[in-house]
Amino acid sequence: MTPQRKKARAVAMMVLNQFDPKRNYAGPILDKLLHETNEKQRATDLVYGTIRNRVAIDTVIAKLAECPVRRIPAKLLSIIRLAAYELIYCPQTPEHSVVNEAAESAKKIASKKQTGFVNAVLRQIARHISSRQSQLSQANAKATLPQTSATGCEFDTDFLPDPKTSPTDYLSTVFSLPKWLITDWLSQFGLENARQICFASNRRPSIYLRPNRLKITAQQLTEKLRHGGIDADIVPELEMIKIKSPKDVTGLAGFAEGLFTVQDIAASQAVRLLQPKPSWMILDLCAAPGTKTTQIAEITNDKAEIVATDADSSRLDKVKENIARLGITSVNIVPYEELFSSKFEILNSKFDCVLLDVPCSNTGVLSKRIEARYRLKKKAIKELAKAQGELLKLAATMIKPKGKICYSTCSIQKAENSELVKDFLRKNCDWQLQCEQLWLPSANQFDRDGGYVAVMVNRQ
């Protein structure tokens, strides 16, 4: 007998009950449970949406339902948060369906009195919603939680900080982001850019595919996907493909044959700026999972000599897996500790280029690294920058005269990017900056993450 499949809400509830942003990650928990439902994408959206917007949701619970969040039992709080997320951010889902199913979920784990409490809290929230989807341009900002850059859920009473007089508090609350980070963005980028970064950090990120140019063109892959019922668009000038509806990429036509790699638009720019040549010997020092390693191999027609390593040797298995799937032969995977042994001592001074995609704060990819907003502390940026600087110094010792370092992060913080590079160049006069670029996260039609790239040349 085939076991009954769970609804998306039930799976999402199981994940939220096991998830603690300071203790673990939602992704691995969700991956283990998705097989229990036929609504995989909806369950994923419910989990990540609830977590991304948790501060805003808790503000609604506390101020409109007049219920201190800290006093609500954890399992009941998960039910209320999930239902509140749907009421506020999923206007297409009927209100009665959201409230009734939340009450049914409570019945299974709680007393009659507690179930009544859940029902009362949600009905109080629903009662205060004047429009589940208003145009932001016409809505009362102090009573509206943004859903997209154009729409929001409007309530009948002011409960949010004033965006004009308290922009830091406002952006921090409605986008569930740390105040110190908002302050930093306002200082670096100004109010409007900071606001757009916030929208991008809370978006449902699109899936982009990088065609394996060793096997197929962007046009050919797009046609193959469309033939398989997948609607897709080619990103102008980048030869990358946007999948219009969320899908499990491992099940897409062409994945098993190695016809593409999943990669964000911004992440693809580092190798494009580097412009590696087939004659080069290249070291990818922080290679796992191999997305940029394989991009280098594809751009150089699989003719460059590429060495891939990573300080976390266990993650090199993923590099090996991706190389095999894509049919790449120019990459030699070397365990990190072996790279610095006598066996490779001569090799380490002969690289034409080192790609240095360093571990970072992830402030450019908060829509995907959803837990980062609750874990990252301001002092951690300084600690990360120190480690990044040490990696940059190490890379500089491994380059031929006239060789290059391609330094990249998925952060948009100056301390990890331009300031760090300027400090390196100031202390190392033999190096000069060839080019650098910062991409801010965007929620536009071809949405993207944020990131930074600097290419430096050894003048010796």
Which CATH number fits the domain that encloses residue 398? Answer: 3.40.50.150
Question: What is the structure's pLDDT at 2?
Answer: 47
CA distance 178 to 174: 11
Tell me, yes or no, whether 408 and 290 share the same domain. yes
277 and 421 within one domain: yes
- Give the chain's domain count: 2
Report which of 151, 95, 106, 97 is spatially closest to residue 128, judged by C-alpha positions: 95
9 inside domain: no
What is residue 248's predicted lDDT score, i.e. its pLDDT?
81
* 277 and 370 co-located in one domain: yes
Per-residue pLDDT of the chain (460 residues; tens, 9 = 90+): 445 678 999 999 999 999 998 888 999 999 999 999 989 999 999 999 999 999 999 999 999 988 899 999 999 999 999 999 999 999 999 999 999 999 999 999 989 999 999 999 999 999 999 999 999 999 999 999 999 999 999 999 999 999 999 999 999 999 999 999 999 999 999 999 999 999 999 999 999 999 999 999 999 999 999 998 899 999 988 999 999 877 788 889 899 999 999 999 999 999 999 999 999 999 999 999 999 999 999 999 999 999 999 999 889 999 999 999 999 999 999 999 888 776 666 566 689 999 999 999 999 999 999 999 999 999 999 999 999 999 999 999 999 999 999 999 999 999 999 999 999 999 999 999 999 999 999 999 899 999 999 999 998 7
The reply to whether 251 and 288 lie within a common domain is: no
Range of the domain at 339: 272-458
Contact by Cβ (8 Å): 152, 146:
yes
| pLDDT of amino acid 346 | 53
Look at residue 3 in the predicted model and tell me its pLDDT. Answer: 57
Q: Is there a domain that residue 52 lies in?
A: no
Rg (the chain; Cα; Å): 24
| pLDDT number for residue 348 | 61
Q: Give me the pLDDT at residue 347, please.
A: 60
pLDDT value for 340:
79
Could you check whether the bond before residue 289 is cis, i.e. omega within 30 degrees of 0? yes
Whether residues 451 and 415 fall in one domain: yes
Q: Are residues 218 and 288 in the same domain?
A: no
Are residues 233 and 276 located together in one domain of the fold?
A: no
Give the domain CATH number at 236. 3.30.70.1170
Q: What is the pLDDT of residue 407?
A: 98
Question: What pLDDT shows up at residue 112?
Answer: 92
pLDDT at 249: 87
